Amino acid sequence: MRGNSKSPQEERRSAAASSSRRERREEDIAIIGGGIIGICAATLLCEAGRSVTVFDRTGICEETSSGNAAAFAFSDVLPMAHKGMVKQLPKWLADPLGPLAIPPAYLPKLLPWLIRFWRAGAAGHYEASLAAQAGMMKLAEAEWMGLLDRSGTRPMLREEGSLELYESEAEFRASLPGWAERERFGIDFRHVESGQMAALQPGLAPRFVKGTFVPGWKTVADPKLLGKAVWAHAERLGAAFEQARVERVEAGANGATIVLADGSRRTAKKLLIAAGAWSHLLARNLGDRIPLEAERGYNTTLPVSAFDVKRQLIFSGHGFVITPLETGLRIGGAVELAGIERPPNFARSKAMLEKAKRFLPGLDPCGGREWMGFRPSLPDSLPVIGRAKAPNVFYAFGHGHLGLTQAAATARLIRDLVLGQTPPLDLNPFRARRF
Ligand SMILES: Cc1cc2nc3c(=O)[nH]c(=O)nc-3n(C[C@H](O)[C@H](O)[C@H](O)COP(=O)(O)OP(=O)(O)OC[C@H]3O[C@@H](n4cnc5c(N)ncnc54)[C@H](O)[C@@H]3O)c2cc1C
């Protein structure tokens, strides 16, 4: 997918300007990955007066950060691995186009990750991940609001809350322990009866018997446009971009070296690896083995006119959401644990669109654009944020379902580490060597 915020001529001019800036200066900080994590980190480091170059093989927010569901899911503190989820697995896996799929041929490769995922759901681990995630979310909201203001992107924020929907009393009751846990962390929500739901979303099918409204849930007008607008702010502060595939990284006491696909080398005093679902491949060059998997997700973006959706609608029982964007109506989610090599199976997008039509009978399903992205996921649902084993290298990846939500907080933590300041959170739960 290509960006539409700049014309090709403007893109070329900006790339040339970036590249001449790069030649003029000594590289201070190099960042591999121009997704939302890499560009937010670049922005905060530039704001702190550092010179930063981002390397990406495609562009700014052109991969997973371009097509996600656009939620600032600050209340989504529950780790994926929990007892309730493990109970759902047999039912979900029975449907090859359902909320979770694992192609049998990929299972042997996935097994070590799945075992770690299962262990992460044990009571002690789960509690620790929940507390770490809740701390991260508090920081995430504060840091995003600040960054939206500083980058002039606040108008892209939508504060309409979300509506989660249940098809049976049993499904609603099964959700209650999760809501009680959120309550412990001060998250505001309100359960609604079927009769009150039309006020929050007209046109829903009568199959939904209850809902939960979360007023603090936020979305953005379009995640790709937001990423590009934040990057424009970073560029104004001097950030540079080089489009290149990084083949290998090396690090030593004096800094880091990036080896590009054409064999040329770039050096920097400090290196940040924020390469999303591909980060572990580079971390391996530095002696860190990190169990990063790709949770592949699918969606279809329909024209804005497809249906008047008032706020993000969440169908947890089916593993997907519907988000009204400035650029369309995005329908999708689901998880396919199938690695980074297999081609997409867009039957999954179609299956969710089909269900959405049943849930919103007036929906016009025509004219959609299908997409797949790779959620970079660690078994305990927490990202890796911290130092590599090698000197002068930092990691920021593995944000799974929450990379957009946690990008500004991650940037703040990385900035503090790079500048040698004390971060506002204990980074132990996020360290690379916790597995
Ligand atoms: C269907 C779906 C819905 C989602 N919904 C939400 C949501 O509503 N809210 C939320 O918070 N999160 C959501 N997410 C998750 C979120 O999109 C990700 O966590 C986030 O985009 C990850 O950002 P990133 O910068 O780590 O990775 P990416 O966006 O994947 O960026 C990594 C970049 O690194 C580059 N790269 C990798 N290797 C190399 C290399 N060797 N050389 C050069 N460049 C390289 C890639 O080109 C890429 O641009 C969703 C994800 C999916 C799939």
Q: Which among 401, 295, 301, 297 is positioned nearest to 356, based on CA atoms?
A: 301
How far, in Å, is the centroid of ligand 1 from the Cα of 63?
6
Residue nearest to atom 3 of ligand 1 (CA): 68
Distance CA 409, CA 182 (A): 20
Q: Whose CA is nearest to atom 4 of ligand 1?
A: 68
pLDDT the model gives residue 164: 98
321: β partners: 314, 332
For residue 82, the model assigns a pLDDT of 75
Partners of 162 in beta bridges: 214, 312
41 Cα–ligand 1 center, Å: 14
**Predicted pLDDT at 2:** 30
| Residue closest to 332 by CA, chosen among 276, 382, 373, 360 | 373
Protein residue with its CA nearest to atom 19 in ligand 1: 403
Residue 30 C-alpha to ligand 1 middle, in angstroms?
18
Note whether 285 and 258 are within 8 A (CB).
no
258-270 per-position pLDDT tens digit: 999 999 999 999 9
| C-alpha 71 – ligand 1 centre gap (Å) | 14
As a whole number of angstroms, the distance between CA 174 and CA 167 comes to 12
Token couple for 111: 């097994």
Let me know: does 102 contact 335? Beta carbons within 8 Å: no
Nearest of 225, 277, 249 to residue 401 by alpha carbon:
277
Residue 378 alpha carbon to ligand 1 centre in Å:
14
Domains of the chain: 1-69+221-289+380-435 (3.50.50.60)
Residue 139: alpha-carbon gap to chain centroid: 16
- The C-alpha atoms of residue 397 and residue 382 are separated, in whole angstroms, by 9
In the reported structure, the alpha carbon of residue 218 is separated from the centroid of ligand 1 by a whole-number distance in angstroms of 19
- Convert the pLDDT of each residue in 305-314 to its tens digit: 999 999 999 9
- The Cβ-side half-sphere exposure at 178, using a 13 Å CA radius, reads 20
Helix (H) or strand (E) holding 197: helix 194-200
Asked if residue 282 lies in contact with residue 431, where contact means CB atoms within 8 angstroms, the answer is no
Structural contact between residues 176 and 164, judged by C-beta atoms closer than 8 angstroms: no
CA 381, CA 47: separation in Å to the nearest integer?
Answer: 29
The answer, yes or no, to whether residue 348 has pLDDT greater than 50, is yes
Q: How far is CA 116 from the centre of its chain?
A: 21
Q: Which one of 1, 61, 63 would you pick to mutate in the ligand 1 pocket, going by the greatest count of ligand atoms within 8 A of its CB?
A: 63
Give the model's pLDDT for residue 10: 52
Residue 12 has pLDDT above 60, yes or no: no
More confident residue, 70 or 85: 70
Q: Are 374 and 418 in contact (CB under 8 A)?
A: no
**Nearest-5° angle of CA 422, CA 377, CA 189?**
80
Candidates 196, 174, 173, 160; CA nearest to 309 is 160
What residues form DSSP beta bridges with 371?
299
Place of tokens 């540079």: 240
Phi and psi torsions of 203, nearest 5° = 90, 10
Q: Are 378 and 119 in contact (CB under 8 A)?
A: no
How open is the CA angle 52-54-58, to the nearest 5 degrees? 165
Residue nearest to atom 14 of ligand 1 (CA): 401
List the one residue out of 187, 48, 92, 207 whose CA is nearest residue 130: 187
From first CA to last CA, the distance across the chain in angstroms is 35
Is residue 11 scored above 60 in pLDDT? no
**pLDDT for 5:** 46
The one-letter amino acid at 166: Y
| Residue 320 pLDDT exceeds 50 | yes
Q: 99-103, 158-162, 242-246, 318-322: which has the minimum mean pLDDT?
A: 99-103
Question: From edge to edge, which strands make up the β-sheet containing 71-72?
Answer: 71-72, 218-220, 157-158
202-227 pLDDT, tens per residue? 999 999 999 999 999 999 999 999 99
Residue 263 region, left (φ>0) first, then alpha (ψ -120 to 50), else beta?
Answer: left
Residue entry with tokens 């359960």: 191
**Residue 7: C-alpha distances to residues 29, 105, 152, 225 (Å):** 28, 43, 21, 14
**What b/e sequence results for 68-89 when a residue is b if at least 16 CB atoms lie within 10 Å of its CB, and e otherwise?**
bbbbbbbbbbbbbbbeebeebe
pLDDT in tens, 281-313: 999 999 999 999 999 999 999 999 999 999 999
* Model confidence at 22: pLDDT above 80: no
Residues with CB under 6 A from ligand 1: 32-38, 55-58, 62-65, 68-71, 73, 245-246, 274-278, 297, 299, 332-333, 373, 375-376, 397, 399-405
CA–CA distances in Å: residue 140 to residues 145, 152, 171: 9, 18, 30
CA atoms within 13 Å, Cβ hemisphere of 274: 32
* Over residues 101-129, mean pLDDT: 92
